[in-house]
Amino acid sequence: MPERDHGLTRRRVLGIGGALGLVATTGLSTAAALARRPSSTGAELRSAVPLPPPFQVPLPIPAVLPPVSTDGGVDRYVITQREAEAEILPGLRTPLWTYEGVFPGPTIESRRGRPVVVTHRNELPVPTVVHLHGGRTPAASDGYPTDLVLPARHATSHTGHGMHDPRAVVTEVTRDYAFPLDQRPTLLWYHDHRMDFTAPAIWRGLAGLHVVRDDAEDALGLPSGPRELPLVIADRAFAADGGLAYPSLDPTLSERPGVQDRYFAGVLGDVILVNGAPWPVHEVDAARYRLRLLNASNARHYELEAVTDDGRRLDLVQVGADQGLLAEPVAHRALPTAPAERYDVVIDFAGTRVGDRVRLVNRLGSGRARDVMAFRVARRAVDDSRVPRVLSTDLPTWRQADAVRVRDFSFRAGRTHGGHGWLVGGLPFDPARTDVTTGLGDVEVWRLVADVHHPVHLHLVGFRVLSRGGRPPLPHDAGLKDTLSLRPGEAAEIITRFDGYRGRYLFHCHNAEHEDLGMMANIEVV
């Protein structure tokens, strides 16, 4: 993966990036993608059961997991990964893979700078890996895809992909993940990250929230308590027996990775779940609410809009991004969000009438996938919350002149060892290969280009978006991010500082099917 000299002009670099992106493989014509600029990348699975009407099921709120110990200034948790059943669609039982028997998994609440240790116990039939997405985490606990936790029934005979990685650290049944949480307050999420099988594992239920807070954020006066709502948005499809449908080549998720060819570009479901419930409804006061949004879908993009039944749009006032608070609020009428992105927004229901319904819709969806959830305004209420003009003063101030190097990466379809797949810089993922070596504390500018939609995620660090297509960032690019949504044919520049910890980390596309089919690369921080 080449490094580029600072002497390259912006025009020349963008030209190189565009050339890297203009490819056509396995029936995916990039030229056609650029021409029609599709609103989604992937194919939709259709459920084989009748689907309920929207806005009937109450919105569940994921339970907060209590620590088993707080001794020594460390909060300790235990999470068992196990099979369970839940009633997701009314009247049907759906088998799931879960953290603590629930989907989404339980929420961990923590304080900035206070260490957390989570002991994960694997009682599932396959190896697992846990990644705290957005966490500033030492490499040993970051959830590298080959650092497997083997289930008891395979502990002596099944080592999975760790066999292909001489640096893999494989444990039997349990593993302690240590999170220093020396980072800005924000919404993180944890999910399975096993090499080649991340997508179906998340689809089956292995995802949960982790919130980091601090005193400065608490003092802002943003909506809190019952008026702070975590919203885990994910699409799924259901088989005739009520189980989750997914087009795996190996439904046991033990040997052969990948999906049926039709879903090579990503798996979309026809049921939109929020916190594990289909198209739910939530009763609210006529007051401000803080929505902690996570797109936990494998491949579906959303453009969220809050609309009353009489057609009025309510502002979504963004106060935070992937890596915490913005410097100042940004108001949106519609908010695009790609897989793995998080947005922290405030919506004010004060201008609505009691009895009004406000729908959260997806402007990129069609049919049933256009609805997400609804809010029912139940009562007038006192509201002492606020959205201050200044939210944070601790955002990094990296400048392009501080960068010690500039790199170019293309994200595109191509040939892999097993056939067709997805490539970073022309190469499929290899855990034994170092793709990027950077020094601890180095500031770098990365220039990224895509053929189709690719939400690009960097482990360990946050970054700022410098440009899209040679133009200024978009309004929703504000703040410190760890996942950037590249649109078809788009080039973008980001700047980051590789600080925190030494070791081996990843960057990859967070379209989970792309990730499983090779679109990951290694970063070695030295």
The mean per-residue pLDDT over the stretch 101-120 comes to 98
Q: Among 76-90, 159-173, 198-212, 299-313, whose mean pLDDT is lowest?
A: 159-173
Phi/psi of residue 364, nearest 5 degrees? -90, -10
The dihedral region occupied by 333, where left means phi > 0, alpha psi between -120 and 50, and beta the remainder, is alpha
**423 pLDDT more than 60:** yes
**357 pLDDT more than 80:** yes
pLDDT score, position 38: 57
pLDDT score, position 26: 33
Which of 488-504 are b and which e, b meaning 16 or more Cβ less than 10 Å from the residue's Cβ?
Answer: bbbbbbbbbbbebbebb
Q: How large a percentage of the chain has pLDDT more than 70?
A: 90
**29 pLDDT more than 60:** no
Q: Band of the pLDDT at 81, cuts 50, 70, 90?
A: very high
**438 pLDDT more than 70:** yes
> What predicted TM-score, i.e. pTM, was given to this entire model?
0.92
Q: Band of the pLDDT at 164, cuts 50, 70, 90?
A: confident
**150 pLDDT more than 80:** yes
* Comparison of pLDDT for 23 and 438, the residue scoring more: 438
pLDDT score, position 416: 83
pLDDT score, position 39: 65
pLDDT score, position 24: 30
Reported as a single tens digit per residue, the pLDDT across 283-294 is 999 999 999 999
71-215: which CATH architecture? Sandwich (2.60)
The mean per-residue pLDDT over the stretch 266-281 comes to 98
**9 pLDDT more than 70:** no
pLDDT score, position 277: 98
**276 pLDDT more than 80:** yes
Q: Cα(475)–Cα(98) distance, rounded to whole angstroms? A: 36
Q: Band of the pLDDT at 32, cuts 50, 70, 90?
A: very low
State whether the Cα torsion 407-412-415-419 is positive or negative.
positive
Q: Cα(135)–Cα(349) distance, rounded to whole angstroms? A: 32
Question: Which residues have CB under 8 Å from 330's CB, separation 6+?
Answer: 317, 318, 475, 476, 478
Q: Band of the pLDDT at 419, cuts 50, 70, 90?
A: confident
DSSP H or E stretch at residue 19: helix 10-21
Greatest extent of the chain over all pairs of C-alpha atoms, in Å: 64
Q: Cα(84)–Cα(509) distance, rounded to whole angstroms? A: 29
The mean per-residue pLDDT over the stretch 518-525 comes to 98
Q: Band of the pLDDT at 152, cuts 50, 70, 90?
A: confident
The mean per-residue pLDDT over the stretch 274-288 comes to 98
pLDDT score, position 154: 64
Q: Cα(372)–Cα(170) distance, rounded to whole angstroms? A: 39
CATH number of 3-36+396-525: 2.60.40.420
The residues spanned by each domain of the chain are 3-36+396-525, 71-215, 225-379
The mean per-residue pLDDT over the stretch 291-306 comes to 98
Topology of domain 225-379, per CATH? Answer: Immunoglobulin-like (2.60.40)
Q: Do domains 3-36+396-525 and 71-215 have the same CATH topology?
A: yes
Return the DSSP state at 249: S
Q: Band of the pLDDT at 518, cuts 50, 70, 90?
A: very high
**399 pLDDT more than 90:** yes
Contact 396, 384 (CB under 8 A): no
